[in-house]
Amino acid sequence: QIVESGGGLVQSGGSLKLSCVVSGRQLEWYVLGWFRQAPGKKREGVSCINGDDGSRYDADSAKDRFTISRDPATNTVYLQMNNLKPEDTGVYYCAAVYRGASVSALCEDRIEPNYWGRGTQVTVSS
């Protein structure tokens, strides 16, 4: 249902663009988000987007560095990550909840997604 790609190893200050391809229904049916989990740490929401109207929510860790976007034509959600830091290291997951949920509720982990991808590893070296 959800497949992420685009992770990798990058030096501090570098950039990566993650992709999340959603199969099945069109993006407008979902609120989608990127989450990450570092070893030994709790999962955290990074950026979320309404698949219908494109409204967004960014966690403090993402503001000014990460940009979430969507492409309805390819049913893909992206996360452009710039100025990466070692503390951004972790497994990045894409998740979707059926429309009607708020982007902030999804990103703040106040609601459980209906679907999760398997994740893509991002490693930022210092």
Query: Minimal CA–CA distance to 122: which of 73, 65, 57?
Result: 65
CA distance 111 to 9: 31
Report pLDDT digits (tens) over 30-65: 999 999 999 899 999 999 999 999 999 999 989 999
Let me know: does 77 contact 20? Beta carbons within 8 Å: yes
- Look at residue 33 in the predicted model and tell me its pLDDT: 98
Residue with the two structure tokens 């989990």:
37
- Look at residue 31 in the predicted model and tell me its pLDDT: 98
CA distance 71 to 31: 13
- Look at residue 17 in the predicted model and tell me its pLDDT: 98
The two beta strands, 120-125 and 8-11, are parallel
Q: Average pLDDT for consecutive 10-residue bins of the chain (126 residues)? A: 97 98 96 96 97 96 95 97 97 97 96 97 97
Residue 104 DSSP SS3: helix
Let me know: does 87 contact 68? Beta carbons within 8 Å: no
